[in-house]
Structure 1
C-alpha cells in the first residue's frame, strides 16, 4: 500500500525497532489503569509528543481495534509499532509494552510479596486515580478534534447512551455500528482532509494468510490437542481460545480464563483471585494475567515455560486478525462514503471513552472528596502544566499513600 503524505513530516516517518522498543518500554512501565487508560497514554506519548500518527489516524486505529477480538490497547500498540518500525517494530512494541507486567506477575507467581498494608493499598488507589486524569485528558483532546460540530457531538451522546444501556462489548460494538450509520446519513457534507495515509508494510496476500491461520488455529487446535493428549497443546489451545473470543480485552477476558483454567482444575480458585488482585497493581495490559496463570497451573508445563506458552497464546489471535484486516482498511477509509462512516465511528469512539471515564474508571477510583481532589490535581498537571504521564503517576501514587495514611 502506498499513499500521499500530508501534515507534520514526522507523522508516518520510519524509525528503528530500537526506537519503538524504547518508547513502548516507557509506556509499559508507566501505563496503569487498564485498556481505556492505555489509549490515553498512547495518545499523549505517540500522537501528541512523538507525532507518529495524526489524531484522526489514531482514532481510526482505535475504532478498528474495537471491531476486532483481542486486547484492544495492545492491538493499537502493535499497529503503531508496525507503522513506525515494520514487523520488528511491531514485535518490539508488543514485547516492551507487555514484558514489564508479565515479569512482575510471574515473580508474584513464584512467591514475590503482593501489595499489602496501608502503603501498598494507597499506591494501588493512587494508580486508579491517575487513570481518571489520563482518560479525562484523552476524552477532552479527542472530543475537540473529532466532535467539532453538532452532528458529531450528537453521535457522541448517542454512543454514550448505547454503552450505558447495553453493557459489555456488545454495547461498544453497537455504538460504533450506530455511529457509523449516523455518519453515513449526517456527515457527508463535512469536507475535511482525511488523516495521512497509514502505510502498513502488510500485503493483502499476507493479510489473507493471517486470517486463514487465525481460523485454522481456533478450530484445529482442540482437535490436535485431543488427538495427541499433549498438555502443552491443551494449554496453548485454552489461552488461544480465550484471546480469540473476547472483544475489547481487559477485564472481559477474565471469565473466559476462569472457565478455561479453574473449571478444568489447572488453577485453584484462590490462586486465580490472588493473581487477579496482583494484576491490578502492575502497569501494562491485563492480558498479562495469562503469564501468571501459565506459571502456576498444573500439571506441567508451568513455571517459565507455562508462562511463555500462555502469554504468547492469549495475544496471538488478536494480532493475527489485526494483520488480516489492516491491508484492506486504508483503501476502504479513502472512499467518500467511508470517510463519512469513519467520522461517525470516530465520534462514537469518543462517546465510548466518555462513558468509560465515568464507569468503571471514575466510579472505581473516586470514593471521596480527597480522591476527587487528587484526580483533579493530576488532570491540571497533565493539561495545564504539560507534565509527563510517568511523573503524574508518581504524584498520584504518593497522593494515594497520603490519603490512605490520613
Structure 2
C-alpha cells in the first residue's frame, strides 16, 4: 500500500459527505449487514466514490478490527473521499439521528417513570428475539468446526461462572492465544490493496493514542473521583473489546454499569429494545445509557467514548492493511476471538436478557411469534419493536 498525502478538502465536499451520510443515518434500518448494503448502493453504485474491489477490502478490514463494522466502513469511505475530516463528518451524519432519538427516550424514561409499564416488558421480549437471531447467524459463521465450537463453549462457561468486570478481557485474550496455536497455518485468500490518504506515521500515532487511553483511563479512574472519567473509561473499554458487531457490546456494557447501580436492569433492557427500532449503528445504545446516568451531556460523552477506539484503530490499521492480511498467525488469533464472541453472546442471552424477560409461558409464546416475524417472515426490525411494545402493553392489561 502506497502512502499518499491528504487530499485537498473543500467545504463543499464536506457538506456533500455530511448530507449523504445523514440521509443514510435516517433511513438505514436493519442492522450492520443491511447498512453495508445501503453503503454499497450509495457509495459504490450511485456515487462511485470507491470501486467494488476497494469497497470489499474496506469491509474486510472493518470486520477484522474490533468495533462497529458498518460505522467503520462509513467512516473509512468518508476518509477516502475527504480525508480525516471527511471521516468525522461521515460519522456524525450516520450516527447523530439515532443518538438524538435514544437520548430523548432516556430522558422520557426518567421523567415519566415508565420502567414498570407493560410496553417496556414487551421491549425486553424484543431484546430476547434480536439477540437470539444474532446468536444463530454468528454461530453459523464463526463456529463452523468442532474446535471453534469448543472455544465458544469455554467462553460461555467462564463468563457465567465468573461474572467480573475483567472476565471478558481474559476470555478474549485466551481465545486469541488458542486461535493462534490452532489456526496459525490456515490459509486465507489475498485481496487487492486499497489506496487511502493516510500516512503510516499518522497510523502509528492513532494506534499509540488507542493503546495509551486503554492503559491510562483505568489508572485515572482509580486515582481520581471524577464520575465522568469512570464513565468514559467504561464506554471506551467496551468499545475497544467488541469483536463481532454491535450486539456483542451488550454483555460488556451490562456488566460495566448494571451491577454498579448506575443503570437499572429494567432501564438497560428497555433501551436495548428501543435501539433496535432506530436506524443507524447499534453502538448508539451507549448514548441512551449515558443519558440515563447523566442527562444529554452524558449521552454525548458516552457516544464519543464508545466510538473513539474503533476509529483510532481503523485510522491506525488502514496504512498497514496489506501486510496484516498476509499474516496467517494474526488471522488465526482472530478466528479464536470470533469463536469466543459466540460464547459471550450466549451468556448475555441467558443473563440478563432471558432471565428478565421470559417470566411466564405467555412471554415465551409471544417471543416465538416475534422471532417468526423477524426470521421467517423477514419483517423490518422496527415492525418487530412496535409489535413488541404494543403486545407487552396488551399482555399487562389482561
TM-score (norm 1): 0.66
CA RMSD in angstroms, aligned pairs only: 4.2
The aligned counterpart of 2:257 is 254
Q: Would you say the 8 A contact 2:236–2:309 is kept in 1?
A: no
> Using a 3 Å threshold, how does the CA distance of structure 1 residues 393 and 202 change in structure 2: closer, same or farther?
farther
> What pairs up with 1:5-404 in 2 under 5 angstroms?
16-26=17-27, 42-47=31-36, 64-65=65-66, 75-76=68-69, 78-86=71-79, 87=87, 88-106=89-107, 112-115=111-114, 121-188=117-184, 190-193=186-189, 203-210=199-206, 240-241=232-233, 243-244=235-236, 248=249, 250-254=253-257, 282-283=274-275, 284-291=284-291, 293-295=293-295, 307-308=296-297, 310-326=298-314, 327-328=316-317, 330=321, 331-404=323-396
Aligned residues: 333
> How many angstroms does 1:285 deviate by?
0.9
Distance 2:353 2:388 in 1: 15
- Deviation of 1:282 after TM superposition, in Å, equals 4.7
2:177 and 2:213 map into 1 onto residues whose CA distance is 32
Provide closer, same or farther for how the CA distance between residues 187 and 314 of structure 1 changes in structure 2, counting only shifts above 3 A.
same
Query: 1:42-63 CA distances to partner (integer Å, 9 max, x unpaired)?
Result: 3453257766988x967x8578
Residues 286 and 303, structure 2, Cα contact 8 Å, conserved in 1: no
User: Tell me, what secondary structure is at the counterpart of 2:112?
Assistant: coil
Structure 2 gaps of 5+ residues are 4-15, 42-54, 80-86, 242-248, 276-283
The Cα offsets for residues 127-151 of structure 1, whole Å up to 9 and x where unpaired, read as 1111111111111111212222222
C-alpha contact 1:194 1:339 (8 A) present in aligned 2: no
Equivalent-residue separation in structure 1 for 2:390 and 2:103 (angstroms): 24
Distance 1:191 1:273, change over 3 A: closer
2:171 and 2:130 mapped to 1: Cα distance?
Answer: 22
Structure 1 counterpart of 2:245:
none
Aligned counterparts of 2:35 and 2:151: Cα–Cα separation in 1: 27
Q: TM-score, normalised by structure 2?
A: 0.67
Structure 1 alignment gaps of length 5 or more: 4-14, 31-40, 66-71, 227-233, 260-271, 296-306
Distance 1:212 1:151, change over 3 A: closer
**Are the counterparts in 1 of residues 286 and 299 from structure 2 also a CA contact under 8 Å?**
no
**Residues 295-324 of structure 1, C-alpha deviations (whole Å, 9 max, x = no match):** 4xxxxxxxxxxx34x333333344443333
